Amino acid sequence: MSDVGALRAEVARASRRLAAEGLLIGTAGNVSVVDPDTGNLVVTATGVVLAECADEHVSVVDPRGRLVAGDLEPTSEIGLHLSVVAAGGVGAVVHTHAPAATAVGCVRDSLPVIHYQQLLLGGEIPVAPYATFGTPELAAAVSRTLIGRSAALMANHGAVTTGGSLDKAVENALLLEWCCRLLIDSSVLGEPRFLDEAAQTAVVEAAIARNYGTTRPAQEEN
């Protein structure tokens, strides 16, 4: 059996880190991880100041959203988290109102591939249509947008990233914010260029050939 206490601590730690990085602001945003043994969701409670998130600010709900552990009601976006997880292949979900990602979702319909590292998120990131927070409409729109990628922007709202693990979902949230910041910063200088299909394919091929993103021992010269 997995250690639910350890999962609650992991969610609290991730929330504090994302707040320290400026992605979670005040009580805005929420973080969850799936308990692999039960399928329950270990998720931040509603109204928690995420920079100060402690283990007791993390609740556990079953796949239907019913509280099974913890003293606090889960986030008002619990339906969004459950919907994204139910779509399959997701171990953790991060939802933020991060400044750059939110700004992009206020103006654009998508974030085209502005840097090759964005391909780690699945390529172009569409902006899910606006719907009121906490509604099934928003949960459905974001879940649809996440098909085939691990990040979605939300019109006039924020962003969602996913990962097989919570560390990966957090890493993806930081990468998405960096890409959005890059779009904003480069737009100040002029019209940004984006990577076309051929450039994207070449990156994927090069990454596969070089096992990009992993360390490896230096080759001895002979």
* Binding pattern for the stretch 144-173 against Zn ion, x by CB under 5 A and - elsewhere: --------------x---------------
Shortest distance, position 21 Cβ to Zn ion, whole Å: 17
- Rounded CA-CA distance 42/74 in Å is 9
Alpha-carbon Rg for the chain in angstroms = 18
Strand-strand pairing, 125-128 and 92-96 = unpaired
Nearer to Zn ion, 158 or 163 (CB): 158
Active site residue 177: no
Shortest distance, position 59 Cβ to Zn ion, whole Å: 17
Shortest distance, position 75 Cβ to Zn ion, whole Å: 9
Shortest distance, position 188 Cβ to Zn ion, whole Å: 27
Nearest Cα residue to 6 out of 33, 46, 38: 33
Nearer to Zn ion, 142 or 203 (CB): 142
Nearer to Zn ion, 25 or 174 (CB): 25
Nearer to Zn ion, 79 or 158 (CB): 158
- Rounded CA-CA distance 175/150 in Å is 11
Nearer to Zn ion, 113 or 160 (CB): 160
Shortest distance, position 42 Cβ to Zn ion, whole Å: 19
Read off φ and ψ for residue 195, nearest 5 degrees.
Answer: -80, 130
Given 77, 137, 171, 191, the catalytic residue: 77
Q: Please count the CA atoms within 13 angstroms of the CA of 112 that sit on its side-chain side.
A: 9
Site size toward Zn ion (CB under 5 A) is 1
Which residues are catalytic, by number? Answer: 77
Q: Where on the chain is the footprint of Zn ion (CB under 5 A)?
A: 158
